Amino acid sequence: MTERTPELPRLDWPAEFDPSLEIIESHEKGLYHKVVKPRRVNKPGRRLIYRSLAQSENIKRFGELPKNYLMEVDPFGWAGNHFHQRKVELFMPSDKLPLIVFLQHSETGDKDVVVLNRDSRQGTYIQYIIPPKVVHFIANPAGVEVPYEVQSNMSEEEALSTGDVIHFPIDALTFTLPPEIMVSQNLQSLLASSKSLK
């Protein structure tokens, strides 16, 4: 469960949105931090969004995340099913097709599900910061590849070579899916096999 925050009214933002404006909403159990950024829309036919953390207080809180890479999840495929000891990851949508992110704390068992896509809220851009010790299993419910971007404090190679990646399969069928996700036969099969995926 996330802390309920009031809808972010677009009228409260300046006419020319500061592209570095970002609001952090933290999950009540610490499973993720949601980064809400208004899109600067004052230029016809284009929008400007800062992809990385832009406000100094947020950089101090979460640290620099200088490693950037693009991931692609196969049709009805998955990624993750692990947690990190030290690595912090910022997940960014790069497609309008959704990815379902299952999150479970490796020590407390607290869990939640978020949807990673570009249309989460009109006029805004949503990112998720995943802290260490939180298992993440990313499922692609679409029949095509879906990309997402990652920024983190260490490279994938460094995380693997230092033992920072801890395989921790979750049972995705025990999670409650958001109502906007249609469960197809392919997605149901993927979720049913999540406990055995490595």
Q: What is the identity of the amino acid at 162? A: T
For the chain, give every domain's residue range.
Answer: 13-196
The pTM for the full model equals 0.86
Q: In angstroms, what is the C-alpha Rg of the chain?
A: 17
HEC states along 127-196? EEEECCCEEEEEECCCCCCEEEEEEECCCHHHHHHCCCEEECCCCHHHCCCCCCCCCCHHHHHHHHCHHH
Q: What is the pLDDT of residue 138?
A: 95
Tens-of-pLDDT digits for all 198 residues of the chain?
555 444 444 446 555 667 678 888 999 999 999 998 877 766 667 777 778 888 888 888 888 899 999 999 999 999 999 999 999 999 998 888 899 999 999 999 999 999 998 764 567 788 999 999 999 999 999 999 999 999 999 998 999 999 999 999 999 999 998 888 888 888 888 888 888 876
* Predicted local confidence at residue 73, as pLDDT: 95
Strands 134-139 and 78-84: antiparallel
For the beta sheet containing 23-26, the strands, ordered from the edge strand earlier in sequence to the opposite edge, are 23-26, 33-38, 124-130, 89-93, 146-152, 67-73
Q: Return the pLDDT at 10.
A: 43
CATH 2.60.120.10 fits 13-196, yes or no: yes
Q: How far is CA 50 from CA 17, 41, 95, 107, 112, in A?
A: 11, 13, 16, 33, 26
**Cα separation of 85 and 88, whole Å?**
9
Q: What is the pLDDT of residue 81?
A: 94
